[in-house]
Amino acid sequence: MPVCNYCGASNREGTHYCKQCGKSLLLSVAPESTTLCPQCATRLRANARFCKACGSTLNMTAPAMRLCPHCGQSLSARARFCKHCGRSTQTTSANSCLQCGHPLRPNARFCSLCRTPVSVTLPAPPPKPVKQPASNVGRTASGRLLGASTLMERYVILERIAKGGMGAIYRAMDKRLGDRIVAIKEMAESAIAPAERKQVIESFQREAELLATLQHPNLIHVTDTFQVQDSHYMVMEYIPGKTLQTLLDEQTKPFAEDQVLLWAEQLCGVLAYLHAQTPPIIYRDMKPSNVMIVEDSDEVKLIDFGIARFFKPGKRKDTIQFGTDGYAPPEQYGKMQTDERSDVYALGAMLHQLLTLRDPQTVLFQFPSVKSLNAQASSRVSNAIAKAVQPNKDKRHQNIPDLWKDLTGDKAAELMIPQQSALLPQPSLDIASAPEGGISGPLLDIGRITMGLNAPYGSLRIPVAAGEVARVVSEVPWLRLTESTVDPARQEVGIALYTAALKTPRLRLQGNLLKRWLDVHTRFLVPTDQTLFGRVRVERSNGATETIPVTLAVAPPGWQLAGGWTITIGLMLTELGGVMGILLAMLAAFF
């Protein structure tokens, strides 16, 4: 009777497979070689360690012992890991796990048995194709415009110059004006707290209006403003260079006094020009980061008019308190109204920092003597700055010319008066046959027109001296000139307005819940007025260049305005009816 070599069961003659375990009987050993239990004589399978009948331990020869290749301790023959050091007892190869010795597949990063990371050098992945940025702008967050993005189908973004908490500044190319390089200032509403949003937007718009109406060699020129989604943009001339704050960060010793006075002369000139306006313009934010030094020159440009304001006689204090700690005088913190003496304080604080490298934010309203911190400074300049930074504004210089006089001595009176009177060379200009508006000082105010107008407006007269020829260029597409040159025989150029291609902005509302609900519809449907700013450039044959600021108020057509409000009110009534229906259904189900 054949006995299974695996389980020891007896099978009938002639069978080929064990009835108990299903193993093949052809490999079974002969009966004479079958192992029997020494206790109960039950046949045992090969290599059995216990009897399946009585459970007694079989006294078999123990397997040979071996040594751990790492710690030298004795191991059993079948041991895969050392019980002393825990390391694998198998000899590892270049394609085996260093921890357990398990074979690894090619380029494996983890062992499939013990999940230990494999330290192998993987081939570098192929470079991903660079996705070209889209030609339009599909985002609202500030400072995320990519290179080659296009705004208003006109301005191509080249790079981001700077980024702040609420906006960014880009270097861009104006395709409509011969690929001229411009700077675009961006302000995103999403980066502003809802409580401050209206105030900051008004400040941004006020800055654009101020810069568009002012003309001074130390001020930047604004050429356009527009809005894309919830971001506002201001297009300005591009000024290559560094701010005084950047120069201060790179400086290891105070600036030379002659260099500081050269900058101070230009800053005094532009501040005196602002204070001479009607009404006076108080800058209120003089600090190193708002002063740009033109590349490869000592020319100064005053930037960022976001918190500049008009002086209002008889007002006790400012409506809005803004400024930078260290440079803002005590009255700018809401106790009284700021005036010319506030700019005197801020300029004195900045000059003190340039001559000493001491940060005015160290201790507010306290300035050690410049002479005590910089032995190279003159006593005259030190005393002038000490007077300018007095906390009591009645003890400071009463205006910018007084400060400049103390900084430079008797020579200042001769320098300041001609500079103040010649800050803005204005040509004698007039408008003929203009339906409304006209020249008001240096500004050409065309007035208010309806969007879509494409018709002659009038003429612009530019006096030209004998033997002189001037080239006239419009810097905006909506103002076209019939002539490109003027001479003594023909001193007028025709003006034509072209607003058909302009895009009207949409109405934005801020305030309570009702206004915000209304804003959801008006921002897409209801057009609103738009104020455009531009310049006409006059290039004379003697090398002189003059610019004439131009402003134009554009109103949307009546049918477009009425249609937008009709659709808005209809949608709001539909939404209100739907909400009322849902509430009634809920009440009916409840009761």
Predicted confidence (pLDDT) per residue in 23-43, tens digit? 777 544 444 445 677 767 677
pLDDT of residue 136: 44
> Regarding predicted confidence, which is higher, 92 or 184?
184
CB neighbour burial string for 75-93, b if at least 16 within 10 angstroms, e if fewer: beeeeebbeeeebbbbebe
- Within the chain, all domains assigned CATH 3.30.200.20 are found at 150-237
- Least Cα distance to 479 among 138, 95, 154, 176 occurs for 176
Percent of the chain surpassing pLDDT 70: 77
Q: Give yes or no for residue 155 having a pLDDT over 60.
A: yes
pLDDT (mean) for 471-498: 83
Please, which pLDDT band fits residue 469 given cuts at 50, 70 and 90? confident
Give ranges for CATH 2.60.40.10 in the chain.
430-574
Spatial contact of 538 and 472, defined as CB atoms under 8 Å apart: yes
Predicted model pTM: 0.51
Q: Which class is domain 430-574?
A: mainly beta
Q: Supply the pLDDT for residue 531.
A: 79
Of 382, 386, 387, 420, which Cα lies nearest the Cα of 401? 420
Instruction: Convert the pLDDT of each residue in 130-142 to its tens digit.
Output: 444 433 444 445 5
- Whose structure tokens read 């790179």? 250
Q: Identify which of 126-140, 285-299, 473-487 has the greatest average pLDDT.
A: 285-299
Tokens of 413: 């009176």
Using the 8-state DSSP alphabet, how is residue 305 labeled?
Answer: -
**pLDDT tens digits along 354-364:** 999 999 988 88
Domain with CATH 1.10.510.10 in the chain: 241-421
- Residue 204 banded pLDDT, cuts 50, 70, 90: confident
| Cα dist from 463 to 1, 34, 348, 491, 549, whole Å | 133, 129, 42, 6, 17
Contact call for residues 505 and 226 (beta carbons, < 8 A): yes
Q: Is 249's pLDDT higher than 90?
A: yes
pLDDT at 577 over 80: yes
* pLDDT given at position 373: 94
Which segments of 499-579 are extended strands (E)? 530-540, 545-555
Burial class (CB in 10 A: 0-12, 13-18, 19+), 570: exposed
Distances (CA, A) of 434 to 350, 363, 395, 439, 446: 46, 57, 50, 10, 8
pLDDT at 312 over 80: no
List residues bridging with 549 in a β-sheet. Answer: 535
Q: Which of 46-60, 165-179, 394-408, 539-553 has the highest mean pLDDT?
A: 394-408
Cα–Cα distance between 159 and 145 in angstroms, integer? 8
Between the alpha carbon of residue 211 and those of residues 142, 221, 305, 318, the distances in Å are: 22, 6, 8, 21
Count Cα neighbours of 134 within 13 Å in the Cβ-side half-sphere. 6
Q: What is the homologous superfamily of the domain 150-237 according to CATH?
A: Phosphorylase Kinase; domain 1 (3.30.200.20)
Q: Which residue has the tokens 């000592």?
A: 298
Nearest-5° Cα angle at 211, 277 to 287:
85
Mean pLDDT in residue range 62-70:
60
The better pLDDT of the pair 415, 46 is held by 46
pLDDT bin (cut points 50, 70, 90) of residue 146 is low
Q: Which residue has the higher pLDDT, 47 or 298?
A: 298
Residue 349 pLDDT > 60, yes or no?
Answer: yes
Which whole number is the average pLDDT over 176-204? 82
Mean pLDDT value across the chain = 77
**Residue 326: phi, psi to the nearest 5?**
100, -35
Residue 334, token pair as written in the block: 């809401």
Separation CA 417–CA 449 (nearest Å): 41
Give the number of other CB atoms < 10 A from CB of residue 261: 18
Confidence (pLDDT) at 348: 95
pLDDT at 396 (0 to 100): 94
The pLDDT of residue 395: 93
Q: Is residue 257 very low, low, confident or very high in pLDDT (cuts 50, 70, 90)?
A: very high
Into which CATH architecture does domain 241-421 fall? Answer: Orthogonal Bundle (1.10)
The tens digit of pLDDT for each residue in 211-232 reads 777 878 888 888 888 888 888 8
By the 8 A CB rule, do 300 and 265 touch? no
**Residue range 390-442, pLDDT digits in tens:** 999 999 999 999 999 999 876 544 444 333 333 333 333 333 333 333 333 34
* Omega before residue 279 within 30° of 0, cis: yes
DSSP 431-495: EES-SS-EEETTEEEEEEEETT-EEEEEEEE----TT--EEEEESSTTEEES-SEE-SS--EEEE
Most confident of 50-64, 72-86, 324-338, 428-442: 324-338
Q: Tell me the C-alpha distance between 107 and 391, whole Å.
A: 73
The whole-number pLDDT of residue 35 equals 66
Q: Which of 137, 140, 185, 227 is nearest to 531 (CA)?
A: 227
CA distances from 290 to 243, 252, 258, 304, 346 (A): 7, 21, 21, 6, 12
Q: Is the dihedral of CA 382, 218, 413, 286 positive or negative?
A: negative
